[in-house]
Structure 1
Amino acid sequence: MAAAMELRCWGGDWGLPSVHSESLIVLAYAKFSGAKVTVSPVDWTWKTLTATVPELLCGDIVIQEPPHILSFFRKQRFNADYELTARQGADTMAYIALLEEKLRPALLHTFWVDAENYSNLTRPWFASRSPFPLNFLVPSRHASAALSRILLTKGEAPLHRITEVEGKIYSDAKECLNLLSYRLGTANYFFGNSPSSLDAFVFGFVAPLHKASLPSSPLQSHLRQLDNLTRFCDTILAVYFSSEHPCSSPPVQETMDANLQKLTQLVNKESNLIEKMDDNLRSSPQHKPHRPDTKPSLSSEKSSTPA
């Protein structure tokens, strides 16, 4: 019997099972492949400072980083990519590399470097999930790591300061989102009718940007113009992460069905009410031959008015 698998990750908010992109990738792939994992949020513990998440524990084995965790799932025969062709497998690797190079720096800047977003959303959230005194240390440590990573990967000469690379990283990120939107088209998933590892990576990167209430984000404004990408995230959340309907249809169809049901109930209720009014009027001794909804004519009103 295979050992139980435990996944340590940051907890959820904003309608997401986790606010952490890497954790979302692993959570989504586990759902896609049918891997049974026990999720253990690191929130409220001292691990908020020391843990590298996501972290998968299986017996004596400890695995970190989404690519390594996904590879371990496949070795355990939980494979969401088994139907992909060789060409689709190559495309998956290319698009994941594109996400890492073009989109990740802009996401790091949006959540951790942008002063307004950091002060009003990111820092308060992570501070509230960390015990004292780590609530003062964890957010600043993540912000410093994000800034260092951006400058290390994008701060090549002559762009040495963060203010000099902002325009470049956001331009690259918008281009990346446009390419993803074009590749997805009108489909629910990137390859066929079932989600794969590419869908897990795109969901992990895009969903926090889609769901977070960011005070300032030109990248979020751009994403909201790409309806198919936002619908892609909503569909995965509804189908794979809905606690009430784990395999439900996309939220748009659910809303239409619910509205249709409410409308039908309302029409039936009004019909019953009208029938009761008609019955009461017919049984009343003062019932007149004209229909209940017929109003007296203007001439009859004038003739009945005393001079």
Structure 2
Amino acid sequence: MTHSTVHGPRRTMLRKVLPTIAAASIGAAGLVGCSGGGDGDGHGAKADTADKAAGRSALSRDTKVKAKDPGLKLKTTSGEFGTKAAAAADFPTWGTRWVVHQTPDTGSASVGMINQGAAGQDRITADYQVDTGHKVCEDGSCSTYMAHITKPVNGFLSVLAVDIPQDSLPGVPVQNGGQPPKPPQTGGTRGEALQRASTWLTANGGTQVPYSQAKIWKDGYRQDCSGYVSMALGLKAPGTNTVGLTSSSITKPISLNELKPGDLLIDAAGNNNTRHVVMFEKWNDAAHTSYTSYEQRGDFGTDHATRRYGLEPGSEYKPYRPLKFTD
């Protein structure tokens, strides 16, 4: 049996520590975002429980391993332009000698251990989690979830080892079957891109996804305008930045009169607090005086509204067509 009877302080009984959601090793270019604003130039302000069921089962705690396990090196993911871009979340842990497993099964082989020397000494970085359907319990808290962690050891760890009030990791994608979440397909139609864009209008418990240049949404994409458009287009998570969307490998310039559903209007000038991008849906009138678009804008979040970005003389918004659309 791998359950330890020796614990560190039970911080999880208080469950006051919340995780810090972050992008794992995203470089400066990867963090560049954008802010949306009113209907003028588009530049606005900066965006801003556990199941306590009775019953206990042997869990992934181990007092038999004496030698310090060196663990495995943190994996990184190459982003669209060479930046490290794996969506991840960082969490505190509690207790001692939690086993990290080879698969999302507490009966699988050990690949390392956390908190070997002291209770709660290690923080873990998780990129996805698996609902195993098999409930395990520790100190009155129960969970069916195993987190795939990349730091300090690469493998699967019971969520019970994480010092949070939930029985699963908030903000971390859930993937049944033990495989990493699959990125959106890079192909697809204009209609599919607009459909993906519309999902963020209600993805936050029935409301829009909030805006953030630093946070990562549950699907792995940054919660700013370029992360949002990257998601809609099916680009690699966590998404390129606004300038990256103008790359010749992703889009090509077109004229305003050529705009079709799923095309983009991009202001790539200035800095991350002035640049912006919206996804065009349709013209609102025959004279092309306004259009309806999808966007992720500062101090609000996902929006589907009438806009005039790019229609004023001298506007910095320019129309672009994603290369995935061949028409």
TM-score (normalizing by structure 1):
0.28
Question: Which has the larger share of strand?
Answer: 2
Which one has the largest radius of gyration? Answer: 1
The structure showing larger relative contact order (alpha-carbon pairs under 8 Å, at least 6 residues apart) is 2
TM-score (normalizing by structure 2):
0.26
Question: Which has the larger share of helix?
Answer: 1
